[in-house]
Chains A and B, each alone.
Chain A
Amino acid sequence: MNASSMYNFNHLMEETEVLCSYKGIVNTEFINDILSLMESKMDELEQNNLVKKKVYYVMVECLQNLYHHIDQSEHVSTEYFEDIPPKSAYFMVAKGNDSFHIKTGNVIDTESAETIISKLETINQMDSISLKRHYQDTLHSGQLSEKGTAGLGFIDIARKTGNKLNYEIIPINERNHFFSLNVRIN
């Protein structure tokens, strides 16, 4: 990780209690295990049913986003980034004083970086009414991709959390970028 990413990561660690932190391959078994574990943990930690549901929902979307979009096929390692094996990602859930944070990190290709930035910037400029319309339009007109994704994940996360999608996209080499997403639920 570069200095900026590392700073944000440490900053998040200090202010929050880490509930789970993972670096590795994201497959169906991992998703099932982590969702089941985190659901029990959330039952202990949070009384508000709606917050519990939102955290669970964002975890599902983030994990399945990683599951469907990790196309990285080679080891990535540079001066700033530690070794990231193929098909793997970072996933972290943390609890702050009045919020939960779900953070993901994965390697993307340079072409995807531009698409993701454009999607996220569009979403972050929208208020709740525009997001609702954007969601309905995309749901109505969109087709599922070959992977079974609907292109609705980021829109719905922004809509359900009511918060801006905090992200960083940092170039690693000519072919790859590192994409980290930090979703806040309060």
Chain B
Amino acid sequence: MENLKLDGSAKTPAISFQSVGKLELKGRSIPENSVEFYKPLNEWIDGYSKKPAAVTDVDVKLEYFNTSSSKCILDFFKKLESINGKGTEVKINWYFETDDEDMEEAGEDYQAIISLPFKMIQVDEI
């Protein structure tokens, strides 16, 4: 399984998905068409699920995301939920900046919907 690496842009996050079970999304997710951006990420998970690492650590370090991305992020988490317990243990690490109550709350929204362990991690700067 090849790693997936995408550079970040003004509207899309940097992606680093490693087959050793280290996945990271970092930056902004505010594209007009978020479906197009998230499709290859879900496809990568499909391939990864065939031979996953024992532990899949997912670091979500987002500064902003638009409501179109919020649905795609949910679908991405659902995909991870579907592989959890099938040869891998999935853990979500949700990062937010100290004063950013909105991003903290966004993490709590997903936590309420998705049955995966969420660790809320407060940092000075993402």
CA of A49 to CA of B68 in the docked complex: distance in angstroms?
A: 23
Alpha-carbon gap, A174 to B34, bound state (A)? 35
Contacts of A140 in B (CB 8 A): 74, 113
Q: Closest residue to B66 on the A side, CB-wise?
A: A60
Number of A-B contacts (CB under 8 A): 68
Having A148-B33, A152-B71, one finds 16 other A-B pairs with CB under 8 Å, namely A32-B11, A49-B100, A50-B99, A50-B102, A53-B100, A64-B30, A64-B32, A64-B66, A64-B68, A67-B32, A136-B109, A139-B109, A140-B113, A148-B68, A150-B67, A160-B102
Is the pair A149, B97 in contact by a Cβ cutoff of 8 Å? Answer: no
Q: What are 9 contact pairs spanning A and B, CB under 8 A?
A: A49-B99, A50-B99, A56-B64, A61-B67, A68-B32, A136-B112, A139-B113, A148-B33, A150-B70
**What is the distance, in angstroms, from A71's C-beta to the closest C-beta of chain B?**
16
A144 touches B113 (CB 8 A): no
How close is B72's CB to chain A, nearest CB, in angstroms?
A: 8
Interface of B is mostly: helix
Q: How many interface residues does A have (CB within 8 Å)?
A: 30
A28 is an interface residue with CB less than 8 A from chain B:
yes
A142 near B: Cβ within 8 Å?
yes
Interchain CB contact (< 8 A) of B30 among A60, A136, A144, A148: A60
Tell yes or no: B101 within 8 A of A by CB: yes
Tell me whether A139 and B71 are in contact (CB under 8 A).
Answer: yes
The smallest beta-carbon distance between A166 and chain B, in angstroms, is 20
Is B121 at the interface (CB under 8 A from chain A)?
A: no
Residues of B33-83 at the interface with A, using a CB-CB cut-off of 8 Å, are 33-35, 63-64, 66-68, 70-72, 74
Is A156 part of the contact surface with B, judged by Cβ < 8 Å? yes
Residues of B within 8 A of A90 (CB): none
**B68 near A142: Cβ-Cβ < 8 Å:** no
Q: Are A144 and B68 in contact (CB under 8 A)?
A: yes
Which residues of B are at the interface with A, using a C-beta cutoff of 8 A?
10-11, 30, 32-35, 63-64, 66-68, 70-72, 74, 97, 99-102, 105, 109, 112-113
Q: Are A136 and B113 in contact (CB under 8 A)?
A: yes
Question: For residue B11, which residue of chain A has the nearest CB?
Answer: A32
Q: Which residue of B lies closest to A51 (CB)?
A: B99
Residue of A nearest to B108 (CB): A132
- Which residues of the other chain, A, contact B74 by a CB distance below 8 angstroms? 139-140
